[in-house]
């Protein structure tokens, strides 16, 4: 059984489908990149996987001991967060919010976990700094540490490198790859097809024709060839 098994999923708003006939599965240790044009439904799919939105039809099953809420999530940053007065530690610790159940305060164990994940992301020295004063790359590391507090198994990243410069982006990709090598499953929405092809093990391409398969299969498929060609053209032209 895979971690996530998606069958015949259709997504949309107010009963009008944007995407239908989605079928894919994610196993432990996979690195899945979801690519596609703007408006193709990538973000809607992400929201549905996170149970923020109901699918129109179809099913999402979790297996291998993964509970529905055990998904770490790295969202795109919101306007509210731009001037939010919160320290790095407070934000990372808030990743543990669902672990407590009905408990009101964080346990020593959860504080320990937050500490460990800050170390992992190399942001321990920023612990008491204010989030809004950090650089874009540092902010992403903070949110990544928070996501790691929420899940040990699977991580969803929504356009993680938007607004970052190339050096910092490469840094972030390297960090995610490292996590993936530690058996953490990664699902990433990306515009950056080149990076997707470099790091991912599987590709889900959402457009008129939906493609799902390994990276090698994608490179040989029609969808893959036309998309990579278009991306190259855009880069050169």
Min dist. Cβ of residue 110 to other proteins (A): 10
Burial of 94 (0-12, 13-18, 19+ CB in 10 A): middle
| Residue 130 engages other proteins in binding (rule: CB under 8 A) | yes
Q: Site for other proteins (CB under 8 A): which residue of 128, 208, 233, 235?
A: 128
Q: Which stretch binds other proteins (CB under 8 A): 118-126, 130-138, 206-214, 228-236?
A: 130-138
Q: How far apart are CA 146 and CA 74, in angstroms?
A: 8
How many residues bind other proteins (CB under 8 A)? The answer is: 34
| Residue 85 engages other proteins in binding (rule: CB under 8 A) | yes
| Residue 235 engages other proteins in binding (rule: CB under 8 A) | no
| Residue 1 engages other proteins in binding (rule: CB under 8 A) | no
Burial of 149 (0-12, 13-18, 19+ CB in 10 A): buried
Q: Which stretch binds other proteins (CB under 8 A): 33-41, 74-82, 199-207, 226-234?
A: 74-82
| Residue 170 engages other proteins in binding (rule: CB under 8 A) | no
Query: Is the distance from CB of 39 to CB of 191 less than 8 angstroms?
Result: no
Q: How far apart are CA 157 and CA 151, in angstroms?
A: 13
Pairing mode, strands 31-36 and 16-26: unpaired
Min dist. Cβ of residue 87 to other proteins (A): 4
Q: Site for other proteins (CB under 8 A): which residue of 23, 57, 59, 69?
A: 69
Q: How far is CA 110 from CA 77, 93, 99, in A?
A: 24, 7, 8
Nearest to 200 by CA among 217, 188, 212, 183: 188
Q: Determine the 3-state secondary structure of 103 from DSSP.
A: coil
Query: Is the distance from CB of 183 to CB of 28 less than 8 angstroms?
Result: yes
| Residue 104 engages other proteins in binding (rule: CB under 8 A) | yes
Q: Which is nearer to other proteins, 102 or 222 (by Cβ)?
A: 102
Q: Site for other proteins (CB under 8 A): which residue of 106, 162, 164, 231?
A: 106
| Residue 90 engages other proteins in binding (rule: CB under 8 A) | yes
Q: Site for other proteins (CB under 8 A): which residue of 71, 155, 188, 196?
A: 71
Q: How far is CA 89 from CA 123, 152, 171, in A?
A: 9, 19, 22
CB atoms within 10 A of CB 133: 10
| Residue 201 engages other proteins in binding (rule: CB under 8 A) | no
Min dist. Cβ of residue 111 to other proteins (A): 12
Min dist. Cβ of residue 102 to other proteins (A): 11
Binding site for other proteins (CB under 8 A): 50-52, 68-69, 71, 73, 75, 78, 80-81, 83-87, 90-91, 93-95, 97-98, 104-106, 128-133, 146, 150
């Amino acid at each position: 059984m895979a971690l996530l098994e998606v069958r015949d999923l259709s997504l949309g708003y107010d009963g009008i489908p944007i995407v239908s006939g989605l079928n894919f599965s994610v196993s432990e240790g996979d690195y899945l990149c979801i690519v596609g044009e703007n408006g193709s439904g990538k973000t809607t799919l992400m929201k549905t996987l996170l149970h923020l939105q109901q699918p129109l039809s179809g099913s999402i099953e979790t297996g291998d001991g993964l509970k529905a809420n055990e998904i770490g999530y790295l969202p795109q940053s919101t306007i509210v967060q731009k001037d939010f007065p919160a320290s790095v530690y407070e934000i990372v610790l808030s990743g543990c919010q669902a672990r407590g159940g009905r408990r009101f305060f964080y346990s020593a164990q959860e504080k320990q976990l937050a500490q460990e994940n800050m170390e992992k992301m190399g942001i321990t020295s920023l612990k008491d700094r204010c989030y809004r004063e950090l650089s874009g790359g540092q902010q992403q590391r903070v949110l990544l540490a928070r996501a790691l507090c929420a899940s040990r198994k699977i991580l969803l990243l929504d356009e993680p490198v938007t607004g970052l410069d190339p050096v910092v982006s490469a840094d972030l990709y390297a960090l995610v790859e490292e996590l993936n090598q530690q058996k953490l499953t990664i699902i990433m929405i990306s515009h950056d097809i080149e990076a997707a092809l470099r790091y991912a093990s599987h590709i889900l391409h959402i457009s008129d024709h939906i493609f799902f398969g390994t990276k090698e299969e994608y490179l040989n498929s029609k969808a893959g060839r036309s998309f990579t060609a278009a991306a190259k053209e855009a880069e050169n032209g």
